[in-house]
Amino acid sequence: MPDQNDLIQQFENELKEVNDAQALDDLRVRFLGKKGLVTQEFKQLGKLSPRERPARGAELNLLKERVQEGISRRQIQLQNAQLSQPTLDRTLPGRRSQVGKLHPLVQIEERVKDIFRSMGFTVETGPEIETVYYNFTALNTPEWHPARDDADTFYFDDEKLLRTETSPVQIHVLERGKLPVRMIAPGRVYRNDKPDPTHFPVFHQVEGLYVDKGVTFADLKGTLLAFYRRFFGPETEIRFRPHYFPFTEPSAEVDASCYLCGGDGCRVCKHTGWIEMGGSGMVDPKVLEGVGVDPEVWTGYAFGLGIERTAMVWYGVDDIRLFYENDLRFLRQF
């Protein structure tokens, strides 16, 4: 029969080694379980004489109490240790949840659409795979025009190509035969350009077309001025520089005064005070005739604006390729 002090000593030693709830429970079973060391001592009581039994019984009860008491004590110690572990630091700032946003080019396109819609324009679309007829011929682009060149245009075959501009949407809409027409057509266009800070083989334009009785160049000027004042701010001025486009006559390039410096010259306008925005003009009578519209009755203006160009100016982005790399560090800024 082991000495009761030895058992207590053994228990206390093992208790010190216990560092988690599982080990503590294992210890409890080893001493107080059905086959536990203390339980086995109780079973020996029957073998003692009636005279010896009460004293040994009292001893064992004491032993059992000490074991139980030791286990509860250690249990509380373990619990306290766990509670004081810094599992949650309430002073840390919360984690921001990420909310998605529209791509900067989409944001610009949406603003452009909103402004023109409010001026009575419809929003149209056309196919990105076009025919030579819609992309060039119907737009009065001569056979010799460099824009038709294989080097500038992605051709699928002799007939089909990726549209190089949104202007063919003018033809699709006029072919419906419903006049007047007052529409914009935003969309992707493609050119066989090597990517550099100002070129990318795909980009976006917004085409504009207004055909009605008695439309004049003054209407074009007034509409674009109103548009740019809404877009860049009420101080904005515009100017027209004579140019050539096959489908408009006369044609002009449109500049807007710099929204940043107001015309004094700064980084955004490259110290000219003006920002090139796009092309425009009065629809060439040959284009109207080609879709069965009588140019003696109907006249119209057209314009084409670049979305990337507008976004780069407005956001101060100096490399068009950034819009297509989808680097989140770039996109999160808009």
Work out which of 140, 153, 236, 248 binds ligand DAH, going by CB under 6 A.
248
Q: 217 or 330, CB closer to ligand DAH?
A: 217
**What share of residues in the chain are helix, strand, coil (percent, to 5)?**
40, 20, 35
Q: Which two tokens stand for residue 326?
A: 């989808």
Contact assessment for residue 153 and residue 147, using Cβ atoms and an 8 Å cutoff:
yes
Instruction: Quote the DSSP letter at residue 95.
Output: P
Work out which of 67, 258, 302, 317 binds ligand DAH, going by CB under 6 A.
302
Shortest reach from residue 90's CB to ligand DAH, in Å: 59
Stretch that binds ligand DAH, among 18-26, 93-101, 174-182, 302-310 (CB under 6 A): 302-310
- The helix (run of H) or strand (run of E) holding residue 256 is strand 248-257
Q: 38 or 305, CB closer to ligand DAH?
A: 305
Binding characters for ligand DAH, 200-239, by CB under 6 A (x = yes): -------x--------------------------------
φ/ψ of 258, rounded to 5, equals -65, 125
Neighbours of 263 (CB within 10 A): 16
303 is a site residue for ligand DAH (CB under 6 A): yes
116 is a site residue for ligand DAH (CB under 6 A): no
Residue showing tokens 């025009």: 145
245 is a site residue for ligand DAH (CB under 6 A): yes
Work out which of 104, 187, 281, 300 binds ligand DAH, going by CB under 6 A.
281
Helix ranges restricted to H, the chain: 4-17, 21-32, 37-44, 53-84, 104-118, 132-135, 168-175, 217-232, 285-290, 307-315, 322-325, 328-331
Contact assessment for residue 249 and residue 140, using Cβ atoms and an 8 Å cutoff:
no
φ/ψ of 209, rounded to 5, equals -150, 130
Q: 251 or 257, CB closer to ligand DAH?
A: 251
For 307-319, b/e burial (b = at least 16 CB within 10 A) is bbbbbbbbeebee
Work out which of 41, 109, 124, 165 binds ligand DAH, going by CB under 6 A.
165
138 is a site residue for ligand DAH (CB under 6 A): no
Using CA atoms, how far residue 296 sits from 176, 245, 246, in Å, is 19, 21, 19
280 is a site residue for ligand DAH (CB under 6 A): yes
Shortest reach from residue 156's CB to ligand DAH, in Å: 20
187 is a site residue for ligand DAH (CB under 6 A): no
279 is a site residue for ligand DAH (CB under 6 A): yes
Work out which of 304, 311, 313, 317 binds ligand DAH, going by CB under 6 A.
304
Please tell me whether 249 is known to bind a ligand.
Answer: yes
What residue numbers does the annotated binding site for Mg(2+) cover?
249
Binding site for ligand DAH (CB under 6 A): 165, 167, 207, 245, 248, 251, 279-281, 302-304
